Structure 1
Amino acid sequence: MYIILYSFQVKPEKEQNFIKGWKDLTNLIYKHEGSLGSRLHKQSAYQYVAYAQWPDKSTFKASGEKLPKQEADKARSLMRSSCENIEILNELEVVEDLIRVKQND
């Protein structure tokens, strides 16, 4: 697996717009580009970190061309206009994966 860590500095009063744009774009990438999904974490006031997971580096590098343009542009625009800064913090290869999703009985 391949992991991308993102940092987002969100503008004051734009947190809900950012989260909506991030969710919409992440869902499109999952559906159309083969990602394994992402998690969004709040680090501090207006600072978020996302962890995006891909099956491998080549799938990540080849992504972007299969998205429905109008929907993706709308989500991307909402997310970007809600941020002061967006950056990739790191790209990582998974060595071991011990995250478990607890199933409800």
Structure 2
Amino acid sequence: MFIVMFEFVPKTGKEADFLCAWPKVTQGIYLLHGSLGSRLHKDEEGRWIAYAQWPDRATWEQAATNSMSEDYEQQRMHMHDALNLEATRILYKMDVACDYLQRRPFAVDN
């Protein structure tokens, strides 16, 4: 699995627009680009940090060349319009070494 971590910086007064568009863009990437999903976080200092999971680096790189639906492109433009693109950046590109992230409880051996 491959992870890409972002810091998104909304323009002043555009945070709500960013929060409206982000899930729609993320769903499009999941459905049409082959991602495994993404999570958006807000840290203690108010920064928006997201990480996206991909099956591998090649799938992530190929996603940039895939064409998307018109609706997805409109949502992507709404998100871009809400962001300070000069300050928004990729923080990390990482391969997963160990994965214990679960959505349900799991047994721990003592």
Scaled to the shorter chain, the TM-score interval is 0.7 to 0.9
Give the aligned residue type for 1:18: F
Q: What is the aligned residue count?
A: 101
Structure 1 unaligned runs (5+)? none
* Residue of structure 1 in register with 2:90 after alignment: 88
The runs of at least 4 aligned residues of structure 1 exceeding 4 Å deviation read none
Query: What runs of 5+ residues in structure 2 fail to find an aligned partner?
Result: 106-110
Normalised by the length of structure 2, the TM-score is: 0.84
- TM-score of the superposed pair, with normalisation by structure 1: 0.88
Match of 1:100 among 84, 99, 102: 102
* Alpha-carbon shift at residue 71 of structure 1 (Å): 1.6
Whole-angstrom CA distance in 2 between matches of 1:63 and 1:10: 23
Q: Over alpha carbons, which structure has the higher Rg? A: 2
Offset at residue 49 of structure 1 (A): 0.6
Which deviations, in whole Å up to 9, do the C-alpha atoms of 1:6-30 show, x marking residues without a partner?
1111122211210121111110010
1:80 Cα offset (Å): 1.2
Higher mean C-alpha displacement, 57-66 vs 21-30 = 57-66
* Identity of matched residues, %: 34
**RMSD of equivalent CA atoms:** 1.4
